[in-house]
Amino acid sequence: MIDFKSRIAEIIAATEIGLTPAEVRAMIEVPQDSKMGDFAFPCFRLAKTMRKAPQLIAADVAARIADNELFSSVQQVNAYVNMFLDKAAFAKELVTAVTEEGANYGRSNGGAGRTVIVEYSSPNIAKPFHIGHIRSTVIGNAIYKLYDAVGFNVVRINHLGDYGTQFGKMIVAYRKWGSEEELAHDPIKTLLKYYTRFHEEAAEHPELNDEAREAFVRLEAGAPEEVALWEKFRALSLAEFNRVYDMLGITFDSYAGESFYSDKMPRFIEELKEKGLLVQSQGAQIVDLEPYGMTPAMITKSDGSSLYVTRDIAAAVYRKEHYDFYKCLYVVASQQNLHFKQWKKVLELMGYEWQKDCIHVPFGLVSLADGDDIKMMSTREGRVVFLEDVLTTAVDKTAEIMRQKNAKDVDIDTVSREVGIGAVIFQELSNNRIKDYVFDWNNVLNFDGETGPYVQYTHARACSVLRNAGVDVNKLSVNDIDFSYLTIPSAYELIKLIYRVPEVVVDAADKYEPSILTRHLVDIAQAFNKFYHDEHILVDDEAERSAKLALVNASRIVIANCLGLLGIKAPERM
């Protein structure tokens, strides 16, 4: 397919305005109002170098390119050159490209096989996989899919929270109050009960905290009994987590968590000493970051046990040495901003220049519609909302809605799972990731709003039109189609939105922002539904019918592709 922006950039650059085609391309805009053209070139920047008013420059450029066959019209409006493409030619290029590329439409190779690591989800073992984990999990998965779509080799890492003093607490709690039978019956809720009880008891008996610290020190030292219990908790937790990951359709390339780096930390503690960065402070070892406006980064506690910063240093160096990453992305809540600033500064002071390629991708908090703030959830107090329960509820509510709507010829069990879980994922990804938002069932499962079910229903509608037309999409040809039938306003607006998908995917990846794609997908769905309502598609005229069905099929392909990049299924019937 023609890259129209690049072609236009070459045409404008040839008018000798002192810019390269690449520079011109970066300046070309897509007007919000289609009455202002398909593309626009602003001339403000040229005023200084050409020593002319921007309006005069725009008039000169417009006159020079007006006769090019690519354009049906070129207009100068103030300091802008507004360009209208030949609509039929544009429609032909777009629909043909989507039909031929199919599932690959929207993908590109800008990554050139370079490696990007995405660390996401990363729940703590022996603790509930709760609703607060959903943001890292689905945002991270979408970022992985976006980077894969733009040609990078992506490594998905679930950096499990499987180390630290909390496991000393869990070991002590299990030894004092644990039951093998109870643990086998419902592992995570049982471990949560033990953990909650530990903190209740420790409030009255502070010496329990000393026992927990000692248990963790023994665990770090490889004591067989502590290691055996830790391995049991880890295995049970992973089995529980994987049930939720299966519901979400998410897999990982590595589950190397904090414990994986336990034998790798001494190297870096020694390196920090050799480089004169370690300072003794009340028995602990720290890196003083006060000169950089930050509190100290604690490397080891007074009892010699490790901390997050130490393990993250070991993890980062291991990943660089093992994967030679181009970028290493950490999809972690914004509450950890200070931690990442400290950790990166320590890496910088150690002389690791590639630390600049380690990027924290923060996100905001989610709260429930009834006012329960997720950040107020506490495993210590046993107040949690299990993610599996949320997903199951979404599936059940969707099935109920579908039965009320008397959905026919639909596998309700399968589709309610795809739509219910898709609705939860879409809700997460439709919000700018850095913003806090409210999780509200009334919005999540709305089939008419800017939601996942609305987009999925649009895909099912397109599939229904093609079925009713008796079209085999695997044999659909765009040869000999009269694309002038797709120059009508509703069709052309849809075509322009579909054309932008590859560029939107790149933009979403570059900004680590899946909501850019989510919002564009909603625009496509709305444009398709306007086309569907404004135009009679299954008309008697064979030429018109074929053209419109080709656009319906292209829309079906693109909506399914975009949903897939968000980790959401595209049902053919709803």
**Catalytic hit among 127, 145, 169, 548:** 127
* pLDDT score at 374: 42
User: Do 183 and 152 share a structural domain?
Assistant: yes
Task: Determine whether 533 is an active site residue.
Answer: no
Is 350:272 a contact under the CB 8 Å cutoff?
A: yes
Q: How many domains does the chain have?
A: 3
Q: Is residue 421 part of a domain?
A: yes
The verdict on residue 284 lying in a domain is: no
Answer yes or no: do 485 and 364 share one domain: no
- What's residue 34's pLDDT? 87
Domain boundary among 45, 69, 85: 85
What is residue 186's predicted lDDT score, i.e. its pLDDT?
Answer: 87
130 catalytic per annotation:
yes
Residues 325/319, Cβ–Cβ less than 8 Å = yes
Lowest-pLDDT choice from 112-126, 199-213, 435-449: 435-449
Is there a single domain that holds both residue 332 and residue 447?
A: no
Q: Which tens digits make up the pLDDT trace of 291-329?
A: 999 999 999 988 777 788 999 999 999 999 999 999 999
**Domain annotation covers residue 294:** no
Give the predicted TM-score (pTM) of the model: 0.90
pLDDT beyond 60 at 372: no
| Mean pLDDT value of segment 181-193 | 88
Does 259 share its domain with 344?
yes
Instruction: For residues 250-264, give the mean pLDDT.
Output: 93
Alpha helices in 433-500 (DSSP H): 441-444, 452-468, 489-499
> In this structure, which amino acid lies at residue 556?
R
- Is 175 found in the same domain as 155? yes
Task: Tell me the average pLDDT across 556-562.
Answer: 98
Same domain as 220, residue 128? yes
Phi/psi of residue 41, each to 5°?
Answer: -120, 115
Q: In this predicted model, what pLDDT tens digit does every residue of 380-405 receive, in sequence order?
A: 444 567 888 889 999 999 999 989 88
pLDDT at 370: 60
As a whole-number percent, the residues of the chain with pLDDT over 90 amount to: 76
CATH of the domain at 122: 3.40.50.620
Catalytic residue among 5, 130, 345, 459: 130
Give the ranges where 431-572 is alpha helix by DSSP (H): 441-444, 452-468, 489-499, 501-510, 514-534, 542-565
Domain that holds residue 498: 387-565
Check 133, 301, 320, 345 and give the catalytic one: 133
127 is catalytic: yes
If one counts every other C-beta atom within 10 angstroms of the C-beta of residue 40, the result is 18
| Res. 268: pLDDT tops 60 | yes
Is 285 domain-assigned? no
* Residues 391, 335 within the same domain: no
pLDDT of residue 384: 66
The length of the chain in residues reads 574
| Same-domain check for residues 345 and 426 | no
Residue 60 lies in a domain: yes
Is there a domain that residue 427 lies in?
yes
Q: Is the pLDDT of residue 371 over 70?
A: no
Residue 317 CA to residue 541 CA, distance in Å, equals 65
Query: Residue 379 above 90 pLDDT?
Result: no
Same domain for 458 and 535: yes
State the DSSP string of 47-98. HHHHTS-HHHHHHHHHHHHTT-TTEEEEEEETTEEEEEE-HHHHHHHHHHHH
Higher pLDDT, 42 or 442: 42
In a domain, 291, yes or no: no
> Does 95 reside within a domain?
no
* CATH code: domain of residue 14: 3.30.1360.70
Among the ranges given (91-95, 122-126, 525-529), the one the predictor scored with the smallest mean pLDDT: 122-126
User: In terms of domains, do 391 and 369 share one?
Assistant: no
pLDDT band at 221 (very low <50, low <70, confident <90, very high): confident
Range with lowest mean pLDDT among 29-43, 161-175, 360-374, 405-419: 360-374
Are residue 266 and residue 336 in the same domain, yes or no? yes
For 251, phi and psi rounded to 5 degrees? -130, 165
Report the distance separating Cα 526 and Cα 455, nearest Å. 8
State whether 487 and 525 are in the same domain: yes
Over residues 532-537, mean pLDDT: 96
Q: Which two tokens stand for residue 478?
A: 């765009």
